[in-house]
């Protein structure tokens, strides 16, 4: 009956004046209504009402498209004028600054797409965490077991059903079956927060229909999806391949089939496949996208999950299909098998995706990639009119590598197997070679001081602040709340700490958890979080101390820095009058949470616009708040060096994981993100004083000199601590090799440790290590085999032992390595290569005039 009715309706629509695309929309909505209302007879649905609603939706979408097009045009024109004004000598750098920021000391040079994305993500997480704290539900959210997570998800669904019934005024209000008040309250907070974010996206030009748990319910782990058969406990030999799937290997085919059969049983098929002609094609597209991580791309409002673009909907909606599950339990079962983690991790993953999308829309509009190309073209036209060269603008790769970072497509995967095992190799290498990373990070103290000097404070005062943060056992809860409100989110909540030292990879849940644990036990997590929190609070307190000073009377360095984030006198006046808070120790800090309460008059002051709708007021409040948070976050990542979007673009060059060049450059870039960040951010910041219209040679030279000297001294301190832990005397500070090693250590290369400065390595080997630790280990193993073939057993054993022992995760932890060496390691070395310990001691003496503190190992260990 239903199919006949639909056919009859379709024929009537064809005879009407309604356009073809609108006819399909109406039919799709009727099918959705049939699915949502759980009716089998189409006559039970008010078709006239639905047709009218769809017509209104189409009209609304046209209004949204028209409004978005106008706002995109305004954004684009402003950026063109900005580039031509502030980067007239180098427009290409201006365009890059829009995406990932620039060290140029000009207006808005650091107010980039990437900066807004980071601030938006962190503000969403901070806001959610505050709601949990206020409701005293943080512990429940952090520690709920699997069954509790299921109950929370089920309650979120039931609460959504209640609200929908109330709003539509249909039927009785469905009951909430949960009885635990804490679980109900947690579900309310999560569901309300999801709805708030959906509204934020819709305000910015999306048209996302209501979905329960919008933020949490679209998390997929590409590793698990790709290995669906194994995840489901099936033997690949027992899975029948899908005959429609071509162009993939047979195992990929079987895994798709296993995933499809599992998910089909969980889906509300009528709703999910409404308007879909070929279900297999739909699911295959979804599967391919999930395996390649394409669902995480932040591409504006046009193709967000659940969105309904008005143009070519049937084709466009394939980009990010929504999987509608029959019940919350069905969703939970799917997420348990194929999600990114538990309910908490899934929720934070959703917050990340939404925040990054909000950040890119707020800067580049609803069609970011298209809008950026329009800006680039318009700048080129202006240069042609001025009879200037446009050669720098014609190189697509120059900009694409940064666009791929900000829109997230750089995290897509081309060849899954290659990307998977390459990422695992790099992860194992990180956990095998970064055991002493925290000790190597001593140079962070000097870099911290140099950033505070850039902001107008003293170099030594900044170093003292960093040391005070490390010696401070724990900040008060009030201060922690202030820091989080400013945008500080602890690493390991949403970040991969390995990213400090390498390009970063998409890892499976198992390896992600292993890395998190590793960086906890090697103390890098504590070190980084403590310094970043200290930097955030230090800056917030320092700026609060300036609250009685007008913008023009501020320290020139602060004023210049504010300008780099597009904070002018009007904005500063509002910040200093509205956004201050006193902590429990009497110190005053900026508290940007208070910017949520800005009046309509203040928003109009900031924007310079006389007329703003409620929607625009809300957006502008958000944008102002995230711009201030973005400044603090960005400067924190200068004080405690982490690679930013610009560094990631340079290290990946736009090549995707799984491609030949993509993997080669990721292996090459492993452990180099930190030193390159120092060059790009710290040295680049100081070099900015040596050129440009507002150059200050004296400031630039003294800044560079202080960094070099301090890094060298702290590098020597770091090496000395490492040597003492190894039972060695400090190296001779007058040796040229010691001086070079100290500067390299302080400049971020200290993480190579024994990799670069291993006593048994030749100069050629050190040069070869530049290729990265994984290729170097492979090279060592090949060398060991070569020596063995030649009959040089001792040399083969020594090289093989060094290669294998330095590749065992956790063995290189600074408090384990020395104990292992003295307990068994030295015995193994001497057994495999008699005399190796004596050679190590001789080389230490020759190169660094260095001895062991106590008994020489060669006199104690003679082999087994």
Asked if residue 456 has pLDDT above 80, the reply is yes
User: Cα separation of 811 and 830, whole Å?
Assistant: 19
Distance CA 141, CA 7 (A): 49
pLDDT mean across residues, the chain: 84
Q: What is the mean pLDDT of residues 144-154?
A: 94
DSSP letter string, 133-176: HHTT-HHHHHH--HHHHHHHHHHHHHHHHHHHHHHHT-SPPPPP
Contacts of 130 (CB under 8 A, 6+ apart): 481, 484, 485, 593
Q: Is the pLDDT assigned to residue 372 strictly greater than 90?
A: yes
Residue 824 has pLDDT above 70, yes or no: yes
Strand 588-590 to 580-582 pairing: antiparallel
Encode pLDDT of 180-212 as tens digits.
Answer: 999 999 999 999 999 999 999 989 988 787 778
Express as a percent the part of the chain with pLDDT over 70.
84
The CA distance from 703 to 451, in Å, is: 10
Per-residue pLDDT at 134 exceeds 80: yes
Could you tell me the pLDDT band of residue 320, with boundaries at 50, 70 and 90? very low
Residue of 62 and 493 predicted with greater confidence: 62
Alpha-carbon 105 to chain mean position: 26
Nearest one of 639, 850, 643 to 741, comparing CA atoms: 850
Residues linked to residue 728 through DSSP beta bridges, in sequence order: 852
Distance between first and last Cα of the chain: 85
| DSSP characters over 355-395 | HHHHHHHHHH-SSHHHHHHHHHHHHHHHHHHTT---GGGS-
Instruction: State yes or no: pLDDT of 362 exceeds 70.
Output: yes
Distance between CA atoms of residues 101 and 85, nearest Å = 16
Helices (H), ranges, 87-145: 91-100, 113-134, 138-143
Kind and range of the H or E element at 589? Answer: strand 588-590
| pLDDT single digits (tens) 571-609 | 999 999 999 999 888 899 999 988 988 999 999 999 988
Query: Which residue in this structure is represented by tokens 């003295």?
Result: 822
C-alpha span between 310 and 158 (Å, rounded): 31
Q: How far apart are CA 77 and CA 533, in angstroms?
A: 38
CA 714 to chain CA centroid, Å, is: 30
Q: Give the helix/strand (H/E) hosting 582.
A: strand 580-582
Over residues 136-144, mean pLDDT: 94
Distance separating alpha carbons of residues 65 and 57, to the nearest angstrom: 12
Q: How far apart are CA 833 and CA 863, in angstroms?
A: 9
What pLDDT band is residue 170 in, cutting at 50, 70 and 90?
low
Structural contact between residues 119 and 636, judged by C-beta atoms closer than 8 angstroms? no
pLDDT at 53 over 70: no
At residue 393, the pLDDT reads 93
Q: Is the predicted pLDDT of residue 653 greater than 80, yes or no?
A: yes
Give the pLDDT of residue 46: 54
- pLDDT level of residue 763 (50, 70, 90 thresholds): very low
What is the rounded CA–CA span in Å between residue 494 and residue 355?
A: 12
Could you report the per-residue pLDDT of 426-453, keeping only the tens digit for each?
989 889 988 888 888 888 999 999 999 9
Question: What confidence tens digit (pLDDT) does each residue in 245-292 have?
Answer: 665 678 888 899 999 999 999 998 877 887 777 888 888 888 888 888
- pLDDT above 90 (res 507): no
pLDDT computed for residue 539 by the predictor: 96
Domain boundaries, the chain: 409-690, 697-860
Tens digits of residue pLDDT in 535-569: 999 999 999 999 999 999 999 999 999 999 999 99
Higher pLDDT residue, 481 or 794? Answer: 481
Task: State the sign of the Cα–Cα–Cα–Cα dihedral 28, 29, 33, 34.
Answer: negative
- CA–CA separation, 66 vs 463, rounded Å? 53
Of 19-33, 82-96, 464-478, give the lowest mean pLDDT range. 19-33
The CB density around residue 69, as the number of other CB atoms within 10 Å, is 14
Q: How many residues does the chain have?
A: 864
- Residue-level pLDDT at 314: 33
Which of 236-245, 560-569, 717-726 tops mean pLDDT?
Answer: 560-569
User: Which of 653-657, 685-689, 750-754 has the least mean pLDDT?
Assistant: 750-754
Residue 854 φ/ψ, nearest 5 degrees: -115, -140
Indicate the burial class of 233 (C-beta count within 10 angstroms; 0-12, 13-18, 19 or more).
exposed
Residue with tokens 């932890």, as numbered in its chain: 813
Cα separation of 626 and 121, whole Å?
A: 9
Backbone dihedral angles phi then psi of residue 581, each to the nearest 5 degrees:
-150, 140
State residue 573 phi and psi, 5-degree precision.
Answer: -60, -40
Among 654, 427, 448, which Cα is nearest to 518's? 427
State the pTM of this model: 0.87
Backbone angles phi, psi at 668, to 5 degrees: -65, -40
């Amino acid at each position: 009956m239903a199919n006949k009715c639909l056919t009859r309706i379709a024929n009537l629509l064809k005879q009407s004046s309604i356009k073809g695309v609108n006819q399909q929309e109406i039919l799709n909505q009727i099918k959705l209504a049939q699915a949502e209302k759980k009716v089998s007879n189409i006559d039970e649905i008010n078709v006239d009402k639905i047709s009218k609603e769809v017509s209104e939706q189409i009209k609304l979408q046209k209004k949204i498209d028209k409004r978005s097009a106008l706002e995109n045009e305004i954004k684009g024109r402003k950026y063109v004028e900005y580039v031509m004004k502030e980067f007239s000598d180098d427009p290409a750098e201006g365009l890059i600054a829009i995406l990932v920021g620039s060290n140029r000391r000009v207006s808005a040079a650091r107010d980039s797409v990437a900066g807004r994305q980071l601030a938006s993500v962190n503000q969403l997480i901070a806001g959610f965490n505050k709601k949990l704290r206020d409701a005293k539900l943080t512990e429940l959210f952090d520690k709920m077991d699997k069954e509790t997570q299921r109950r929370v998800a089920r309650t979120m669904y039931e609460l959504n059903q209640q609200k929908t019934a109330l709003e539509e005024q249909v039927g009785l209000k469905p009951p909430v079956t949960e009885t635990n008040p804490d679980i109900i309250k947690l579900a309310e907070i999560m569901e309300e927060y999801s709805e708030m974010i959906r509204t934020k996206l819709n305000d910015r030009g999306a048209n996302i229909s209501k979905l329960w748990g919008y933020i949490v319910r679209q998390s997929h782990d590409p590793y698990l999806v790709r290995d669906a058969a194994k995840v489901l406990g099936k033997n690949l030999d027992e899975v029948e391949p899908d005959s429609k799937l071509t162009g993939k290997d047979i195992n990929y085919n079987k895994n798709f089939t296993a995933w499809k059969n599992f998910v089909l049983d969980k889906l509300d098929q009528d709703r999910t496949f409404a308007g879909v002609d070929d279900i297999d094609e739909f699911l295959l597209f979804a599967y391919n996208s999930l395996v390649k991580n394409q669902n995480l791309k932040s591409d504006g409002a046009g193709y967000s999950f659940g969105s309904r673009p008005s143009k070519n909907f049937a084709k466009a909606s394939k980009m990010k299909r929504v999987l509608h599950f029959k019940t919350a339990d069905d969703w939970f079962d799917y997420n348990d098998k194929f999600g990114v983690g538990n309910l908490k991790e899934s929720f934070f993953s959703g917050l990340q995706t939404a925040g990054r999308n909000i950040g890119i829309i707020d800067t580049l509009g609803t069609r970011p990639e298209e809008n950026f190309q329009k800006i680039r073209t318009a700048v080129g036209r202006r240069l042609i009119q001025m009879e200037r060269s446009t050669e720098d603008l014609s190189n697509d790769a120059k900009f694409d590598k940064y666009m791929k970072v900000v829109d997230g497509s750089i995290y897509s995967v081309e060849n899954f197997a290659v990307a998977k095992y390459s990422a695992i190799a790099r992860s194992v290498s990180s956990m095998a070679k970064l055991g002493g990373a925290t000790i190597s990070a001593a140079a962070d103290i000097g870099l911290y001081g140099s950033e505070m000097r850039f902001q107008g404070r003293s170099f030594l005062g900044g170093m003292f602040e960093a040391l005070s943060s490390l010696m401070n056992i724990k900040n008060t809860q009030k201060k922690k709340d202030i820091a989080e409100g400013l945008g500080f989110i602890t690493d390991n909540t949403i970040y991969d700490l390995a990213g400090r030292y390498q390009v970063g990879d998409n890892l499976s849940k198992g390896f992600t958890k292993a890395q998190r644990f590793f960086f906890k036990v090697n103390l890098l997590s504590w070190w980084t979080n403590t310094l970043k929190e200290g930097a955030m609070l230090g800056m917030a307190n320092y700026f609060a101390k300036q609250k009685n000073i007008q913008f023009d009377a501020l320290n020139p360095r602060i004023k210049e820095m504010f300008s780099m984030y597009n904070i002018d006198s009007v904005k500063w006046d509002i910040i200093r009058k509205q956004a201050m808070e006193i902590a429990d120790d009497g110190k005053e800090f900026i508290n940007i949470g208070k910017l949520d309460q800005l009046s309509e008059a203040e928003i109009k002051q900031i924007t310079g616009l006389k007329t703003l709708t409620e929607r625009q007021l809300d957006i502008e409040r958000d944008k102002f708040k995230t711009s201030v948070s973005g400044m603090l976050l960005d400067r924190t990542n200068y004080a405690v060096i982490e690679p930013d979007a610009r560094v990631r673009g340079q290290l990946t060059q736009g090549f995707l994981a799984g491609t030949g060049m993509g993997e080669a450059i990721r292996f090459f870039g492993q452990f180099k993100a930190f030193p390159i960040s120092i060059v790009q951010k710290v040295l680049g910041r100081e070099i900015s004083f040596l050129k440009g219209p507002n150059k200050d040679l004296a400031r630039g030279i003294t800044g560079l000199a202080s960094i070099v000297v301090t890094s060298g001294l702290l590098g020597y301190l770091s090496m000395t601590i490492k040597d003492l832990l190894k039972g060695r005397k400090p190296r001779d500070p007058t040796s040229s090799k010691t001086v070079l090693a100290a500067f390299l250590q302080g400049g971020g290369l200290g993480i190579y440790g024994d990799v670069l400065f291993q006593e048994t390595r030749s100069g050629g080997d050190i040069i070869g290590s530049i290729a990265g630790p994984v290729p170097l280990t492979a090279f060592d193993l090949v060398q060991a085999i070569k020596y063995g073939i030649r009959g040089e057993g001792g040399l083969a054993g020594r090289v093989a032992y060094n290669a294998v022992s330095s590749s065992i995760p956790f063995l290189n932890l600074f408090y384990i390595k020395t104990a292992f060496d003295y307990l068994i390691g030295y015995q193994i070395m001497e057994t495999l290569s008699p005399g190796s310990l004596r050679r190590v001691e001789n080389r230490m003496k020759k190169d660094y005039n260095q001895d062991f503190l106590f008994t020489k190992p060669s006199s104690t260990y003679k082999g087994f």
